[in-house]
Amino acid sequence: MKIKLLLLMAIGSILGACTRGDLATKEDVTERFRTFESDPGEKALRALLNVRTDGEVSYLHMALIGKAFAQQPDLFRAAATNLGTEMERRSFRWLAESGDAVFEYYPDHEPQSFDQVFQDSAWLKNHQSLQTKGS
């Protein structure tokens, strides 16, 4: 019985490590943002939106998405017409629902223009990505 339990724990640890292996680090997320910032375009935006993160890195990811939104709201609006992945939809949903709270853990990333850009973007709050199935 103990051997079975140890075997299950070992398999669980291995599977967990494999699953976590494709999650981005802070450096990965920061590099995606820098790429977007240096050459803003749909491809770089989608690359930033589609980063798989977890835990603390997720807070940085959302802060950088908020910063990118403040810099390029028109690009976000254009991308919103065709959100191709669940991560893209989730990123838009978190941004719309959280507003400046995306900067809660990384306030140094909040641009001064964010509040105004966010207020001027009523389309974001009404976007279809916020609609839940069955509503």
Q: Are 94 and 59 in contact (CB under 8 A)?
A: no
Spans of all domains in the chain: 23-130
List pLDDT tens digits, range 32-89: 999 999 999 999 999 999 999 999 999 999 999 999 999 999 999 999 999 999 999 9
Distance CA 61, CA 43 (A): 17
Which DSSP state fits 112?
T
Task: Please state which of the ranges 9-13, 47-51, 102-106, 112-116 shows the lowest mean pLDDT.
Answer: 9-13
Asked whether the beta carbons of 53 and 61 are under 8 A apart, the reply is: yes
Q: Assign 21 a pLDDT band (cuts: 50, 70, 90).
A: low
Q: What is the pLDDT of residue 78?
A: 94
Mean pLDDT score of the chain, rounded to an integer?
85
Q: Whose CA is closest to 49, among 90, 20, 78?
A: 90
Residues 6 or more apart from 22 whose CB is under 8 A from it?
52
Does position 134 have pLDDT exceeding 50, yes or no? no
